């Protein structure tokens, strides 16, 4: 049996480039390619963590070159999960930060 790994451990593991499997509302597995983990906020205490994932196969309503912003949420037991970020303004901020970091790496 495969050992359980918290989604945050998977996302923050620099050596892990495997796809991430999430489950839709009908419990069907959906694979995503990891694009980036993006912290937003001024510091760890008040910041939020997001990730950008690209569907590994065609998803209805998502173009081939599009990715999805997920919010990393932690429950009362400390278990992390991913929720699609539905606020367009927040998702835009995440992508803006991603592009800023990419530009920073290029220079």
Quickly tell me which residue has 């081939």 as its tokens.
64
Position 38 scores a pLDDT of 94
Confidence of residue 34 (pLDDT cuts 50, 70, 90): very high
Q: Is the Cβ–Cβ distance between 39 and 19 less than 8 Å? A: no
Average pLDDT of the residues of the chain:
87
> From CA 69, how far away is CA 38, in angstroms rounded?
10
- pTM recorded for the entire structure: 0.85
Residues 6+ away with beta carbon under 8 Å from 9: none
Q: What is the pLDDT of residue 1?
A: 47
Highest mean pLDDT among 23-27, 60-64, 96-100: 96-100
Domain boundaries, the chain: 7-106
For residue 93, pLDDT over 60 is answered with: yes
Rounded to whole angstroms, the Cα distance separating 10 from 18 reads 9
Q: What was the pLDDT predicted at 72?
A: 93
- Token readout for 48 is 């939020």
Q: Which helix (H) or strand (E) holds 3?
A: none
For strands 48-55 and 68-74, give the pairing.
antiparallel
């Amino acid at each position: 049996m495969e050992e359980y790994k918290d989604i945050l451990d998977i996302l923050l593991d620099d050596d892990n480039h495997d796809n991430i499997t999430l489950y839709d509302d009908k419990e069907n597995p959906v694979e995503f390619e990891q694009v980036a983990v993006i912290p937003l906020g001024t510091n760890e205490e008040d910041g939020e963590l997001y990730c950008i994932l690209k569907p590994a196969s065609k998803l209805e309503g998502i173009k081939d070159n599009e990715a999805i912003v997920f919010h990393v949420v932690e429950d009362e037991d400390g278990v992390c999960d991913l929720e699609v970020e539905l606020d367009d303004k927040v998702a835009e901020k995440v992508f803006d930060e991603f592009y800023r970091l990419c530009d920073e790496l290029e220079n």
